[in-house]
A and B are shown apart, each in its own frame.
Chain A
């Protein structure tokens, strides 16, 4: 168990809908990262937050947004969902800005 908790484990929804994925980092970790794993793109970095502030953006679509709350948990919001958004979404956390990243078990999103 990495100590990073992601909910829900599975999410099935329809095109055009909006979903929220939740991540609780390891105790004491200030950085949270979101990654997407898909068959065609592999594992891709989406966005990083550190202590509530956005630190870096990767290949994140404009339809996607994230935030980190004062208790350090993070949410990834995906809107206007398309079939191609079906993927495994991982959250990772690290103690600081440059430390080792530990991953959660992921949320599997299926858009039908």
Chain B
């Protein structure tokens, strides 16, 4: 089936690390993505990882992929109040289409 799961809410203090987790279903996905959505705004592509990689680091962002468990995580180092947003995990569904299957989104609240 098509199901991407995320926890709904995460609260951290400014300066701490945040870890947002996601489980996905399609083992044939080529890419897995993290998008950020601020209130009233669009979807900003934060980062993505190819399915043949285990880890990708991009400045404060670290993505870990465990294909065996179909588990994806996004770590944000030194979390800032500007990181407060909803974070969506997505996989591109395999087969003839490149459609994205999104998780429910995790609301990250950063306390000053």
> Chain A residues in contact with chain B, CB under 8 A?
2, 31, 33, 35, 42-43, 45, 48, 55-56, 58, 90, 92, 94, 97-106
Q: B102 contacts which chain A residues (CB < 8 A)?
A: 42-43
The proximity string for B residues 74-112 relative to A, scoring 1 for CB distances below 8 Å and 0 otherwise, is: 000000000000001010100011111110110000000
Residues of B within 8 A of A (CB): 30-31, 33, 35, 41-45, 48, 88, 90, 92, 96-102, 104-105
Inter-chain CA distance A94–B43, complex, in Å, is 14
Contacts of B98 in A (CB 8 A): 31, 33, 48, 56, 94, 97-99, 101
What is the interface of chain B mostly: helix, strand, loop, or mixed? Answer: strand
Residues in B neighbouring A58, C-beta threshold 8 A: 99
Known interface pairs A98-B92, A100-B31, A103-B35. Does A90 touch B99 (Cβ–Cβ under 8 Å)? Answer: no
A102–B31 Cα gap in the complex (Å)? 13
Of chain A, the residue at the smallest CB distance from B99 is: A45
How far is the CB of A8 from the nearest CB of chain B, in Å? 14
B52 to chain A minimum Cβ distance, whole angstroms, is: 14
Q: What are 13 A-B pairs at a CB distance below 8 A? A: A45-B99, A55-B96, A55-B97, A90-B42, A98-B30, A98-B92, A98-B98, A99-B98, A100-B48, A101-B33, A101-B45, A101-B100, A103-B43
In the complex, which residues of chain B have a beta carbon less than 8 angstroms from the beta carbon of A43?
A: 43, 88, 90, 100, 102, 105
The answer to whether A103 touches B42 (Cβ under 8 A) is yes
In the bound complex, residues from chain B placing their C-beta under 8 Å from that of A55 are 96-97
A35 to B88, CA, bound (A): 14
In the complex, A102→B35 CA distance in Å?
Answer: 10
